[in-house]
Amino acid sequence: MHLLTLQKTIEEYRPEIVVIDPLTNLTSIGSSLEVKSMLTRLIDFLKMKQVTAIFTSLTNGSDTEISAEVGISSLMDTWLLVRNMETGSERNRGLYVLKSRGMAHSTQVREFRLSDHGVELVDVYVGPEGILTGSARTAQEGREKSLAVKRQAEVERHKREMERNRSSLQAQISALQAAIELEEEKYQSFLADEDRERQLQAGERGAQVRARQRGTPNGGN
């Protein structure tokens, strides 16, 4: 009767999406085999009509309860599992993809929150102490931001120190360059003086030679 009623309603309204909430209520009016048979026919009907179907199942989160649903969940293309995570006397919700037939999917657990804007997914923090959610994650993020600010301040301090050292070294380099240029000028001046001195000595020797030649009698006797 449930199947016939659903098919009639779908034929009448022609929806794009059908939500069955929750599947676990069906087990109270029939056996698991009957429920699976009914859902198989319903899913085939929805696929034939090209209607997207969303099914929910209420569990207490234990492994036994999840295993009991495997017979029904095997009919689904994608299975999302919502799990309560208790840390630091606080309960938060985690969401992850348990399976997704024929599609690549993430294996990460994501914390999600119900807000005025709908469901918001939040990256859980995985650290040395394990997964952190809720206020514990917020506190850890605050510590990380504070540490990041300190590291940035340390980087800026090293940068300023480097700039000061660079300016000091550049000043020393400029002073050394000026000293080198001064020594080069002194050396060039010394070379010019030496050249003039050699020219002067050569002129004097030439004058002496000419003077001796003028003072020597003809024939040399």
Domain containing 101: what range? Answer: 2-119
pTM of the complete model: 0.53
In a domain, 202, yes or no: no
The verdict on residue 58 lying in a domain is yes
Is 204 inside any structural domain? no
pLDDT at residue 123, rounded to an integer: 72
- Scan for tokens 């099914």, then name that residue: 55
217 in a domain, yes or no? no
138 assigned to some structural domain: no
Q: Is residue 139 assigned to a domain?
A: no
User: Which residues in the chain come in under a pLDDT of 70?
Assistant: 60-72, 87-88, 124, 126-137, 214-221
Number of domain units in the chain: 1
The model's pLDDT over 154-190, given as tens digits with 9 standing for 90+, comes to 999 999 999 999 999 999 999 999 999 999 988 888 8
Sign of torsion, CA 152 153 155 156? positive
Q: Is residue 25 part of a domain?
A: yes
Q: If you write DSSP's letter for every residue of 21-39 in order, what string do you get?
A: --GGGGGGSS-HHHHHHHH
Instruction: Decide if 113 is inside a domain.
Output: yes
For residues 140 and 90, what is the distance between their CA atoms, to the nearest angstrom? Answer: 15
Residue 20, domain CATH: 3.40.50.300
